[in-house]
Amino acid sequence: AQSVSQHNHHVILSEAASLELGCNYSYGGTVNLFWYVQYPGQHLQLLLKYFSGDPLVKGIKGFEAEFIKSKFSFNLRKPSVQWSDTAEYFCAVTTNAGNNRKLIWGLGTSLAVNP
Amino acid sequence: DGGITQSPKYLFRKEGQNVTLSCEQNLNHDAMYWYRQDPGQGLRLIYYSQIVNDFQKGDIAEGYSVSREKKESFPLTVTSAQKNPTAFYLCASRRGLAENNEQFFGPGTRLTVL
């Protein structure tokens, strides 16, 4: 069965530190990859997505992610975090397999940035 | 101002009662989804609908029911058969059926069963 793993469940950083959140998926075919963010008290919203082309994708608020097909990974990065990046981050994937139109979600990573 | 609305934001019900959560979207999206979010468990899919008058079970459909009579509306009923209904419920929609289209989310309804 297809699955998504987020290795870090809780991350605590100081402002200006660099961030990398891991995401791996299990599916050998074509995938579409997403990172969503849920700020405290706000809607879940899209940070960035990859479906084809340049494997390094840039999203909102200075976030980027790199798709490495050989490693089945789509890690999220930010060079310098801010207090306002405190949120929960979810990695998700859809595949082109059959009639599956569902997003498969990771369990999420809770990020706390200390000022 | 387009978006997804869910009402109410907080809902309290007594054990044994059915309760219906509202989800409305004015984005003209074809597909709609219901998720349940519990701490440390991510988002789990309850039901989804790709077109009007059609819907499919997700991974945790037991104890829930839905309808899709209109494109813009996808209400979720939490029945008394759901063993652990207290949770945060999220509704989402997606334009078209292409897998690379992202889902848009509502603000959620927090249901507490007493």
Q: B31-89: per-residue pLDDT in tens?
A: 999 999 998 888 999 999 999 999 999 999 999 999 999 999 999 999 988 889 999 99
Reported as a pLDDT band with limits 50, 70 and 90, residue B96 is confident
Pairwise CB contact (< 8 Å): B102 & A96: no
Minimal C-alpha gap between A12 and chain B (Å): 16
Listed as ranges, residues in chain A with pLDDT below 70 are: 96-101
For B46-72, b where at least 16 C-beta lie within 10 A, e where not — what string?
bbbbbeeeebeebeebeebbbebeebb
Minimal C-alpha gap between A94 and chain B (Å): 6
Pick from A17, A33, A15: which is nearest to A25 by CA? A33
Max CA pair span of chain A? 47
**pLDDT > 90: what percent of chain A?**
77
Residue A97's pLDDT is what?
A: 65
CA B86 to chain CA mean position, Å: 14
| Integer Rg of chain A from CA | 14
Minimal C-alpha gap between B3 and chain A (Å): 11
Mean pLDDT of B106-114: 94
Write the CA distances from A3 to A28, A46, A84, integer angstroms: 11, 20, 30
On whether any CB of chain A is under 8 Å from the CB of B89, the answer is no
- Chain segment B23-44, per-residue pLDDT in tens: 999 999 999 999 999 988 889 9
Residue A102's pLDDT is what?
A: 78
Least confident window among B4-13, B69-78, B99-108: B99-108
Pairwise CB contact (< 8 Å): A51 & B100: yes
